[in-house]
Every structure is written in C-alpha cells, then in structure tokens.
Amino acid sequence: MDSSQFFGIASIAYILAMVSYIAYLVFRNGTIGIIATTITAAGLASQTIAFILRGIEFHGIGQMGFMRAIPLTNLYESLVFFVWCLIGGYLIIEWKYKSRSFGAFITPIAGMALAFIDISGMDKSIHPLIPALQSNWLLAHVTMSFIAYATFAISFATAIMYLAVTTDKKDASYSFWTITLGVFLAILIGMGIDFLVFRVAESSPEAFIKSHLFKATFRNSSGFIAALSYAAAAGFIFIVWKYGSALKRIITSFSIEPDLLDDLTYKNIAIGFPIFTLGGLIFGAIWADQAWGRYWSWDPKETWSLITWFVYAFYLHARFLRGWRGANIAMVAVVGFISTIFTYLGVNLLLSGLHSYGGQ
C-alpha cells in the first residue's frame, strides 16, 4: 500500500469519527463514545503511516536530505498535516480531561478540511521542491506554523462551545457565534455547489477555486441566481441563529463546566501563540531572507500573519492585563481563528504574492 491509500483510510476514519462523536453527543451512549475514540485513534495511526510513506516517496523523487524530504510543500500536504496536528491535539485533550464531548466540535473541523481537499480538487501528486522551498528552515517554519494553527482551531471549537453554553438570544454574543457558525457552514456549502457545477469542465484542478469560487452561487453571472444564493444563505444563517440554543442544552447535558472551556481556550492559545511567533514569523523571516533576499516584504501572507499575531496578542493582553473573561474574550478567540483561516487559505486562494506557490 502507498501513502495515498493510507491517507484515504484516515480520511474515511475521521469522517466516521465525526459522525460517531456527534451521535455520542446526541444519544449519550458510552459505547458509541468508545467506538468514536477507537476510530479516531485508528485514523491518526493510518495518517501517521501515510505521512511517513509520503516522506519516503518524496525523498526518492528529490534525492534530498531528511530535512528537505518533509512532505509540507503544497496546500494539500499542509492541510493533511494540519488535520494530523488537530486530531493528535484533540486525543491528548480527551485523554487528559476524560471527556469525549469535545470530539463533536473538533472532528468536524478535520472533516471540513478533508472535504475541502476533495471539493477543491486540489493536486495530490508529489512534485520536486521549487528553489524557494529548498531550505532547512522549511521544516521549522511550516511545521511550527501548522502546529500553532491546530491549537488555534481547538481554541476556536472550545470558544464556540463556551459561547453556546453561556449566552442567550438576548445577548449580542449569541448572535455573534451563531452568525459566525452559519456563515462558516454557508461558505462551505457554496464551495460544494461550485464543485458539483464546474469540476467536470475544469481541466486544471488547481485553477478550480481561483476560476470558479462562488461563481455557481454568490458570484453567479445571473443576478437572479446570485440574489437567490444570498437569500438562501441568509435563511440558513437565520435557522442556525433560531435553533442555536439547542446546542446549549446538548452541551450542558454532559455537565461540561464553562470554566473548563474557557481554560482550554486560553491554554491552547497560550501554547500556540509562542509557537506561531517563533515558527510562523521569526523563522519565516529567516527563510524569506534566504529565498528572496529580504526578511519582510509585506507580502499578503506576511501581512495577514501579522494581523493574526496581533489578534492573539490582544487576546493574551486583554486576559492578563485587562482581566477580560467570559463571552468577550471567547469572541476574540473566534475572531483569531477566522483571521487564521484567511491567512492559511484565503490569502492563497484570493490574493497573489510570494506565497502563491503554497496554493499549488
């Protein structure tokens, strides 16, 4: 078996785990919870094997040293590594806090990342490193960046859970998290419709998103279809807002304390922030100097990385020096992950710059 087959097994396992964790949360059946954990662990093991095999295959093509054979050279590989970090981090949390309830909120992020890979039709083949990537700083910069992204994703999930548990419809923070979640899901659905409509006609999978992003829905040439898409999205977001309180009842039925969710959000950001600072910004600047002859060039990826850094720096500043607690600080964590997602994917897909090879 090669790496793609193990990646396929891991993808199926994570999707099954996502369904199992949601079923566990709804039916509160301990057996289903054990099955969900088992499937998740099996998926992580399969993905680990796949990652090692892909590294060996990559090394065979490029005949490079170990440090340059790490398969983190394009959007597909970085997404796969992000999911690996996310699932690994989640299993540590499940083991430490003896609670499987978080799985219903964290595994969907992994499931959506895997769905995005297939929806976008991105290239999964192995290519030799381009000159800009032939640096040993690649391992430190990219690996640490995605470890930080994974901790930010976990903080996003726990912050959403915190907001769901502690807010009511009369609160502005309730509208914030339900609308954010609704928009997040509406965007994914829109991209899925793009895939169904355009993929057959697209000869270059990598150009799919840049050529057709939301062209089947929100950016359709037909004004009627575009207006209908916005109306459908608004209706969907309203439904999420209307029935968001149901999530509160489900979470509280597992006796998950809001303080625990707040603590998990803080700890993941406290771990991810210095890793992102060192790996994403400092090591990235060193790598940029080697690749392009300057430490900082205000490339869109660099600019948005700095914006993301400021958001999480504000989170820690507000918590420690301003004493922020509760819904306000949880909303900052959610905003931080939105900025992270745009830095990670939005810049590659919507903007151009020196990091554009990351989208190929």
Is residue 213 pLDDT above 50, yes or no?
A: yes
Classify residue 91 as exposed, middle or buried by CB count within 10 Å of its CB (0-12, 13-18, 19+): middle
Question: What pLDDT is recorded for position 353?
Answer: 58
Is a pLDDT exceeding 50 seen at residue 340? yes
- Better-predicted residue by pLDDT, 315 or 112: 315
Residue 132 has pLDDT above 70, yes or no: no
Q: What Å distances lie between residue 149 and 98, 273, 314, CA to CA?
A: 24, 9, 17
What pLDDT is recorded for position 335? Answer: 95
For residues 306-318, give the mean pLDDT. Answer: 95
pLDDT digits (tens, 9 = 90+) for 180-206: 888 888 887 887 787 777 765 555 555
C-alpha 357: how far from chain center: 19
pLDDT band at 316 (very low <50, low <70, confident <90, very high): very high
CA 258/CA 252 separation, integer angstroms: 9
What pLDDT is attached to residue 61? 67
Predicted pLDDT at 359: 43
Question: Residue 97 pLDDT > 50, yes or no?
Answer: yes
Question: Is the model's pLDDT at 9 over the cut of 90?
Answer: no
Q: How far is CA 43 from CA 9, 36, 97, 111, 125, in A?
A: 7, 11, 21, 12, 21
Residue 312 above 60 pLDDT? yes
Give tens-digit pLDDT for 150-174: 899 889 989 998 999 998 888 889 9
| pLDDT single digits (tens) 41-65 | 999 999 899 888 888 877 766 656 6
